[in-house]
Amino acid sequence: MKDYQVIVVGGGAAGMMAAGQAAKNGAKVLLLEKKERLGRKIAISGKGRCNVTNEENVSDFIRNYPGNGRFLHGILRDFDNAALRHFLARYGVETKVERGGRVFPVSDDAESVNKALTAYLTEMGVTILTGITIEDILVENDRVIGVQGTGQKRFLARSVIICTGGASYPATGSTGDGFRFARKLGHHVITPRPALVPLKTAETWVKELQGLSLRNVEASLWIGGKKKITEFGEMLFTHFGVSGPIILTLSRQAGEEIRKGETVQLRINLKPALSREQLDLRLQRDFQKYSNKQFKNALEDLLPQSLIPVMIQLSGINSERVVHQINREERKTLLALLQGLTLTITDTLSLETAIVTAGGIDVKEINPKTMASKRIEGLYWAGEVVDVDGITGGYNLQAAFAMGFRAGRAAGEEVCSLV
């Protein structure tokens, strides 16, 4: 086979950025992707709109990575959100900022991001081969020499960058190949597990609310009866439990605690903008307004229609009662529900359904200045295959692009310095 200086395995966000950067720094680069097209996971991210990054000050980014955020400190400064938006604009993708600082293409089309990255690879002269499955990383004397594909295909190079992703959304090509490579090469792999994943609940009444989306609510995670973390924003009820942005953010810790055998609860404040006293006054006004109606017809100003029967059931108040017959204690019970609707979390959905994989190559075995392996010379890691993960809001794609940028630049500089 034709020899290259740098081989990149995996054509996602990290891989495409790494390949382009290596070529930009003078290397002869081959990008290998197991699927028939590049950027499969980019294409479905953000519900097909692609939340590329967040506008938050990059100095505050680290706190949004529960998985080894400190490792990214210099990496994110090297290629930050402003640099990413400038890069995309250069290739025709203007971006906009939405609620929560989320940055999307103005076109609302994830494919525009893929086209920009492909144009970048073309401009930099990267050779792209798709439909290629890599079986092994070739190493001699603790130095990488290339990769072994299926059907006796060998591709040789002085540097190899692994950007194979995690183990979530396997249909996009992220099937854990990088973890298998790493273990065989003596790297420690932190057990992969789901992050940014919907949650299952013990309560079966969630089925009655399937498809109901709630905005501007507050969800708190309670572990062993103690409040641990709170998120504000949007959530969604499903037939098995709950999902949506704030649930996904809470899911990583929920999953960790469940695996420890802890009791995990989710408490939803449906009216977080109001204090308990303010909400009580609001409820009293509604009760006065509908004093001669049945209880089941008195909550329409306060709650979505589909949620009313569930709240009535949980309150224990007879739905046929006339509102003016409801006493103070019953009203207090309803108030507690409105600001503390409680769900018991039994599990997360599977790793395959998660948006992001937590776990991966131990960051202690990667040089953050270059993304180079500390075990195998000429080997680099970037993207979701590394044990780094962030909350929802564009942070994971930003990390992938930034790690790919640094790995590609370092690999390109290394091989060209040897010429």
Instruction: Tell me the C-alpha distance between 391 and 251, whole Å.
Output: 10
| Contact present, 11 and 165 (Cβ < 8 Å) | no
Reading the block at residue 117, the tokens are 């990255």
Where does residue 367 rank: exposed (0-12), middle (13-18), buried (19+ CB within 10 A)? middle
pLDDT of residue 376: 98
pLDDT of residue 419: 59
Those residues whose C-beta lies under 8 Å from the C-beta of residue 72, and which sit 6 or more positions away, are 61, 62, 65, 368, 388, 399, 402, 403
Task: Classify 6-195+357-417 by CATH class.
Answer: alpha beta
pLDDT of residue 258: 97
The pLDDT profile of the chain, 419 residues, written as one tens digit per residue, is 458 999 999 999 999 999 999 999 999 999 999 999 999 999 999 889 999 999 999 889 999 999 999 999 999 999 999 999 999 999 999 999 999 999 999 999 999 999 999 999 999 999 999 999 999 999 999 999 999 998 878 999 999 999 999 998 888 888 899 999 999 999 999 999 999 999 999 999 999 999 999 999 999 999 999 999 999 999 999 999 999 999 999 999 999 999 999 999 999 999 999 999 999 999 999 999 999 999 999 999 999 999 999 999 999 999 999 999 999 999 999 999 999 999 999 999 999 999 999 999 999 999 999 999 999 999 999 999 999 999 999 999 999 999 999 999 999 999 998 75
pLDDT of residue 1: 47
pLDDT of residue 58: 87
The SS3 call for residue 363 is helix
Instruction: Tell me the C-alpha distance between 214 and 89, whole Å.
Output: 34
Those residues whose C-beta lies under 8 Å from the C-beta of residue 34, and which sit 6 or more positions away, are 130, 131, 132, 133, 134, 173, 177
Sheet containing 154-156: give its strands across: 134-140, 143-149, 154-156
Where in the chain are the domains?
6-195+357-417, 198-349
Return the percent helix, strand and coil in the chain, to nearest 5. 40, 25, 35
Those residues whose C-beta lies under 8 Å from the C-beta of residue 196, and which sit 6 or more positions away, are 248, 249, 251, 252, 354, 355, 356, 389, 391, 392, 396
Q: Give me the chain's average pLDDT, please.
A: 96
Nearest in space to 8 (alpha carbons), one of 403, 416, 411: 411
pLDDT of residue 151: 82
Reading the block at residue 215, the tokens are 């905005």
Instruction: Tell me the C-alpha distance between 312 and 334, whole Å.
Output: 8
pLDDT of residue 172: 85
pLDDT of residue 264: 98
Helix axes 395-417, 81-90, angle to 10 degrees: 80
